[in-house]
Amino acid sequence: MGLFSMEQTREIALGLEKSGVRFLWVIRAPPSEDKAKCNASALSVFLNFPEFDKIATDSFRNLGMTPFEIPGLFSVPASSMLEPMLDRGVSYDEFENMGAHFRNSDGIIINTFESLEPRAVKALRDGTCLLGIPIPPIYCIGPLIADRGESNLGGEKDECLSWLDSQPCRSVVYLCFGSGGVFTGKQTREIAVGEDKAKRLQPPAEPDLDSTLPEGFLERTKGRGLIVKSWAPQIEALGHDAVVRAGVPMVAWPLYAEQRVNKILLVEEIGVALPMNESNERFVSSDAIERRVKQIIGSEEGDLVRKRVLEFSHEAKVALGEEVALAKLVESWKQGRVCNT
C-alpha cells in the first residue's frame, strides 16, 4: 500500500496504463492524512506499531522519551510518534490497523530511493526490522516531487522570487512550516527575534503582523528580509540560487504528522539537517533559533550538512533523470522481487 496525493495517484495510474501490464491496484484512503507520503523509515515505524502497542504500558504521550526500538535501525521516543498515535482512540486504532494492513499487502510502494535510506530499505527488504513477521516486497519509486515552475502557470513572476533575484547567492534562510504549522503569538515573536539577531530572513507569516511581531521588526529587517503573507512558490524558492538551489540544508523543527520521525531520519540517519532544540513544552527560544540559523548558513557543521545534502541532491537528480523508476517497479512486480531504485 502506497500513500500518495490525488495528483500523484493519477500519475501512477497513467504510468500503469502506458506500461500495458495487467495489475491489481488496491486504493484505500489513509486515515486522517489524505496527502501522506511514506518513506522507508516511516514505513518501518508503521509496520512495528502493532508490536509497540503490545508492549506499551500507557499512552505514548504519557510515556514521554521512553524509546521504542525498530530492530536493526533506530529507536523512536514514545512522544515522537505521530499525533494520532499518542493517545488510544479511533485514529489510534486506524493506524494500528494500517500497520497490520501493510504486513498483509502483496507489495508496498514507497516514496524514496535506495541511496537516500540504504539501511532502512535493506532492513525492509531483508525483513530484519520486523522480527518474526514477513514483510511484503518493497518497491522504491522516489523521489516523487513537483517540478520547478509547476506552481506558476505562465503568470507574472512572484514577488518573493523577484526579491530573491536581488539577494546574494547562498544568503537567505527560507522559513516554511507547512500548511499545518501553527504557532502561538509568543512563539512567532521568538522566531522573529531569532531571525533578527541572526541577520537573515525570508519567512512566510500570518497577514496580521503588527500585533504579533516585535515592535519595529519589519522596519529593522526591511531590505534583507521579506514577509510572505499568503502562499509562496515553494519549489521555485527552494531551487533559487539565493537559497542554495535544490540541495538545501535544513534545521529540523518537527510540528505535526510524522515530522518527529522524519527528524530522526534527517538528523541521525542521513545527516542532512541540524536539530532545533526545544524545551519540554516544545517551545523554541530566539537564542536557539539564532544559533541554528548561524550554524546552518555559516559554520563548519553547517558546511558538512550542506555537502551531504548536495550529494543526495545529485543522487536524487540521477534517480529522476533515469525516468525508469516505474518501469523498474512494473518489471520487479512481474518477477516478484524487490526493486532496487
**pLDDT per position as a tens digit, 233-254:** 666 766 666 554 456 778 888 8
CATH of the domain at 234: 3.40.50.2000
Span of 50-59, 174-183, 271-280, 284-293 with lowest mean pLDDT: 174-183
Instruction: Report the alpha-carbon distance of residue 220 to residue 187 in Å, rounded.
Output: 19
Residues 106 and 213 in one domain: no
> What pLDDT, on a 0 to 100 scale, did the predictor assign at position 86?
93
Classify 154 as helix, strand or coil: coil
Residues 297 and 168 in one domain: yes
Q: What is the mean predicted confidence (pLDDT) over 263-284?
A: 88
Nearest to 123 by CA among 41, 182, 23: 41
Answer whether residue 39 is part of any domain.
Answer: yes
Residue 85 or 203, more confident: 85
Please report which confidence band the pLDDT of residue 330 belongs to, taking 50, 70 and 90 as the band edges: low
Burial (Cβ within 10 Å: 0-12, 13-18, ≥19) of residue 279 = exposed
Residue 258 or 55, more confident: 55
pTM for the predicted model, two decimal places: 0.70
Residues 128 and 187 in one domain: no
> What pLDDT, on a 0 to 100 scale, did the predictor assign at position 61?
94
* pLDDT digits 0-9 by tens, 182-230: 778 888 888 888 877 776 544 444 445 556 666 776 677 666 666 666 6
Residue type, 191: I
Domain containing 250 equals 159-311
Residues 196 and 300 in one domain: yes
Residues 131 and 105 in one domain: yes
Answer whether residue 261 is part of any domain.
Answer: yes
Residues 198 and 322 in one domain: no
> What pLDDT, on a 0 to 100 scale, did the predictor assign at position 27?
45
Residues 163 and 307 in one domain: yes
**Res 260 pLDDT > 70:** yes
Cell of 4: 500518495
Residues 284 and 255 in one domain: yes
Residues 192 and 248 in one domain: yes
Answer whether residue 341 is part of any domain.
Answer: no
Q: What is the mean predicted confidence (pLDDT) over 65-76?
A: 95
> What pLDDT, on a 0 to 100 scale, did the predictor assign at position 50?
95
Q: Average pLDDT, whole number, for the chain?
A: 75
Please report which confidence band the pLDDT of residue 177 belongs to, taking 50, 70 and 90 as the band edges: confident
> What pLDDT, on a 0 to 100 scale, did the predictor assign at position 211?
62
* Residue 286 and residue 183 in contact, taking contact as beta carbons nearer than 8 Å: no
Span of 29-38, 86-95, 99-108, 157-166 with lowest mean pLDDT: 29-38
Of all helices (H) and strands (E), which one includes residue 119?
A: helix 118-126
Residues 181 and 62 in one domain: no
Answer whether residue 330 is part of any domain.
Answer: yes
Cell of 9: 495517484
Instruction: Report the alpha-carbon distance of residue 119 to residue 128 in Å, rounded.
Output: 10
